[in-house]
Structure 1
Amino acid sequence: MISPVKVWRNQKYVGRMIGKTGTIVAFTLIRVPPADFGYQAPYPVAIVALEGGESICVQIVDYDNGDLVVGQKVITVVRRTIQSQTDGIIPYGIKVKPI
């Protein structure tokens, strides 16, 4: 079950992260995902070094296979994070897409 309180508290983080640019440091392809992510599989996840020194582990969206390389420039975007069949809440979070 998704907690509305957790979704609300996450908004400060999401707002702070929108539009930051960075570089893929490492990536992998998730083929066997957790239950709420099953509809997205397989999907790439990367460690991204953001400008300013911060690093994040994040899902890559809107990509071509040629974009999945170390050193690829990316930008943070807001996307739906999971698909829940029972909750009325649609949680959004930070993901990255190639520039």
Structure 2
Amino acid sequence: MAVHNGTVYLAGQVPDDATLDIRGQTREVLAMVDRLLAEAGTDKRHLLMAQIFLPDLADFDGMNEVWDAWVPAGHAPPRATVQAALARPGWKIEIVVTAALPQPRA
């Protein structure tokens, strides 16, 4: 993770448990995103962009179901989902996000 000029950049987050199906791996990765954003002082309501990498586009619907339940209504960021080979064969998903730090209240 890097924080610069009020913006939080997360590296690609991948699952710890490669035995889970796409829904389980997506939940696990989004929980990692939540933890890292909290550590930086922000949350998913402040997402600016997301990139999702799937080795198998047949997993798109399962991933999207979990993603849609996770993103707060009215706060869905611009998102790209692409097919890509990932570094480990058991990984079904990798997610990269960028988020803003909340502005201090006056």
The normalised TM-score by structure 2 is 0.23
- Identify the structure with the greater helix proportion: 2
Structure with larger RCO (C-alpha < 8 A, sep 6+):
2
